[in-house]
Amino acid sequence: MRTIYDVLLIVLAVKFLFCSVAKLRWYRDTILFASNLEYFPDQLGRILGMILPLFELAMFISLLLFNSIYTYVLICFYCLFFIALNIKVITERKSVACFCYGKLIKSKLGFGGFFNFSCYLIITIICLLISSDSLLVVMDTIRLNEILPISLASIGIFWGVLLGQLYGDQLSGRV
């Protein structure tokens, strides 16, 4: 159980670090993108664009330094918000660009985003149920012979979920 927790915690931390850094790198574009999203009023979209990368960075830091039930609850709400947004896009049968990874990786809202955030919700719930230590403690307790398998598993899950998001619409038959 401990190794499963270690891998999933690393996956969550990498996701929040990757997304926050990508959005912060293009912070003005992130704000502009969110304010132009037709699903929110301009001001709410602008505020969302300003807060989201900072929230993601805060979640990474919280996973890194603390192991709080509040962090996992906030991540669950974050995932549920984006699951609902992706369901709305799916039901409207629209193709809407997403700025999840800044300008590094082009992605879309829809089946791929639904898959992505559903996976992260499940990972978060599992971490919440078996949580024990912060990421720093986890990294400190991993034995040398466990580093490679845990790293490979974490990277594999992260990229698997990412590819699921990127190709979700194609896999579902919607392009």
SS3 101: strand
User: In a structure prediction context, what are the per-residue pLDDT tens digits for the chain, which is 175 residues long?
Assistant: 567 777 888 889 988 998 999 999 999 998 888 888 888 887 888 999 999 999 999 999 998 888 788 899 999 999 999 999 999 888 988 878 888 888 887 878 888 888 889 989 998 988 888 876 665 565 556 555 566 566 666 667 766 766 666 666 555 555 5
Q: Residue 139 has which token pair?
A: 């990294």
- The enclosing H or E element of 105 equals strand 105-109
Q: Find out whether 110 and 97 touch, Cβ atoms under 8 Å.
A: no
DSSP state at residue 110: S
Rg value, the chain, Cα: 16
Angle among Cα 85, 123, 110 to the nearest 5 degrees reads 25
Sequence ranges of the domains in the chain:
2-171
Number of other CB atoms surrounding residue 44 within 10 Å: 13
* pTM, rounded to two decimals: 0.79
Sign of CA dihedral 9, 120, 126, 154: negative
